[in-house]
Amino acid sequence: MTTYDFVSASLESLDGLQTEVVVLPFFSDERPLRGAAGLIDWRLCGALSRKLMAGYLDGHFGEKGMIARPDKLKAEGVLLIGLGPTSSFDASTAKRACELIADTLRESKVTTAAVALPGRNLDLVPALRAMQLWLAASREDETLEELSVIEGPEEHRALGSLVDGLRRQSESPIG
């Protein structure tokens, strides 16, 4: 079972992430990058923005781009996931994006990751709903041991309670 923790979308927290990969969903019309992606881009002196401006990535739904061994981060890689335009983002897109991220981590046999949940950087989906979608999408992943969810500190308690409640429910002899 995956162990969850919650980290703030702040430079200090992101700098300290020791994980295989940091997953950053972003929109095709999101310039400059915001949320965790914007902070990591700033920390990497605009490396993510340069990839976008050079046309290596455009953010269409399902697009994936990896930066391996980024300087100034303790993570082994940064995985960018395209979400398409903000105008087409809805609950169905959020669900599909969570499934895409979960499948990518599973197929890559990632054991530790940090994830900014799709749509949270622009508050297009409530934190609890985004976490529910993530938990449903990642349910079958037996490889992922530790996941850090990048979220505002005001949401940590509620998200932690959701995860703890589901864990207790799954461990219940009645269930």
Q: How far apart are CA 2 and CA 51, in angstroms?
A: 32
Q: What is the pLDDT of residues 38-92, one digit of tens each?
A: 999 999 999 999 999 999 999 999 999 999 999 899 999 999 999 999 999 999 9
Q: What is the pLDDT of residues 4-27, one digit of tens each?
A: 999 999 999 999 999 999 999 999
Q: What is the pLDDT of residues 106-143, one digit of tens each?
A: 999 999 999 999 999 999 999 999 999 999 999 877 89
- 175 has a pLDDT exceeding 60: no
Q: Which pLDDT belongs to residue 139? A: 85
Q: Which pLDDT belongs to residue 142? A: 87
Per-position b or e across 137-172, b if 16+ CB within 10 A of its CB: bbeebeebebbbbbbeeebbeebeebbeeeeeeeee
Q: What is the pLDDT of residues 152-163, one digit of tens each?
A: 999 999 999 998
Q: Which pLDDT belongs to residue 174? A: 64
Q: Which pLDDT belongs to residue 172? A: 63
pTM of the complete model: 0.93
Residue 23's nearest CA partner among 74, 59, 75 is 75
Strand partners, 60: none
Residue with tokens 């599973």, as numbered in its chain: 106
| Strand 64-68 with 77-82, pairing | antiparallel
